[in-house]
Structure 1
Amino acid sequence: MTCNASVFIATSLDGFIARPDGELDWLPAMDPRNDMGYGDFVSTVDVLVMGRHTFEKVLSFGRWPYHMPVRVLSRSGVEIPAELENVALMSGSPRALLDALGTEGFQHAYIDGGETIQAFIADGLVQRLILTRIPVLIGDGLPLFGKLKANAGDQLWFHEKTFTWANGVVQSHYRFSQSG
Structure 2
Amino acid sequence: MRKLVYYIAVSLDGYIAGPGGEYDFYPGDDAYAAWMGQRFPETIPTHIRAMLGVQDAPNKTFDTVLMGRGTYEIDTAVTNPYAHLKQYVVSSTLEQADPAITLVRSDPIGLVRELKQQDGLDIYLCGGGKLAGELLPEIDQLIIKSYPVIAGAGIPMIDGDFQPTGFTPAERESFDCGVFVTWYSRK
Same fold at TM > 0.5: yes
**Residues 80, 63 of structure 1: CA spacing in aligned structure 2 closer, same or farther, 3 A cutoff?**
closer
Secondary structure of 1:95 counterpart: helix
Match of 1:39 in 2: 41
Match of 2:176 in 1: 166
Cα displacement string for residues 121-151 of structure 1 (whole angstroms, at most 9, x for unaligned residues): 1xx21111000111111211111023445xx
Match of 2:46 in 1: none
What runs of 5+ residues in structure 1 fail to find an aligned partner?
A: none
What runs of 5+ residues in structure 2 fail to find an aligned partner?
A: 44-58
Aligned residue pairs, count: 168
Cα displacement string for residues 88-145 of structure 1 (whole angstroms, at most 9, x for unaligned residues): 1013233211134356655631112121112111xx2111100011111121111102
After the TM superposition, which residues 40-59 of structure 1 pair with which residues of structure 2 at under 5 Å, given as runs?
Answer: 43-59=60-76
After the TM superposition, which residues 78-157 of structure 1 pair with which residues of structure 2 at under 5 Å, given as runs?
Answer: 78-82=95-99, 85=100, 87-102=101-116, 108-113=122-127, 114-121=129-136, 124-148=137-161, 154-157=164-167
Distance in 1, Cα, partners of 2:79 & 2:97: 14
Distance in 2, Cα, partners of 1:98 & 1:63: 21
**Residues 92, 66 of structure 1: CA spacing in aligned structure 2 closer, same or farther, 3 A cutoff?**
same
**Residues 173, 72 of structure 1: CA spacing in aligned structure 2 closer, same or farther, 3 A cutoff?**
same
Residue type of the partner of 1:115? Answer: K
Distance in 2, Cα, partners of 1:90 & 1:103: 18
What percentage of residue pairs aligned between the two structures are identical? 24
Q: CA RMSD in A?
A: 2.7
Matched, 1:64 2:81: yes
Matched, 1:19 2:18: yes
Distance in 1, Cα, partners of 2:63 & 2:69: 19
**Residues 148, 81 of structure 1: CA spacing in aligned structure 2 closer, same or farther, 3 A cutoff?**
closer
| TM-score computed with the length of structure 2 as normaliser | 0.76
Distance in 2, Cα, partners of 1:170 & 1:59: 30
Structure 1: which 4+ aligned runs deviate by more than 6 Å?
Answer: none
Whether the aligned pair in 1 keeps the contact of 2:42 and 2:84 (CA below 8 Å) is no
Distance in 1, Cα, partners of 2:65 & 2:15: 21
**Residues 19, 40 of structure 1: CA spacing in aligned structure 2 closer, same or farther, 3 A cutoff?**
closer
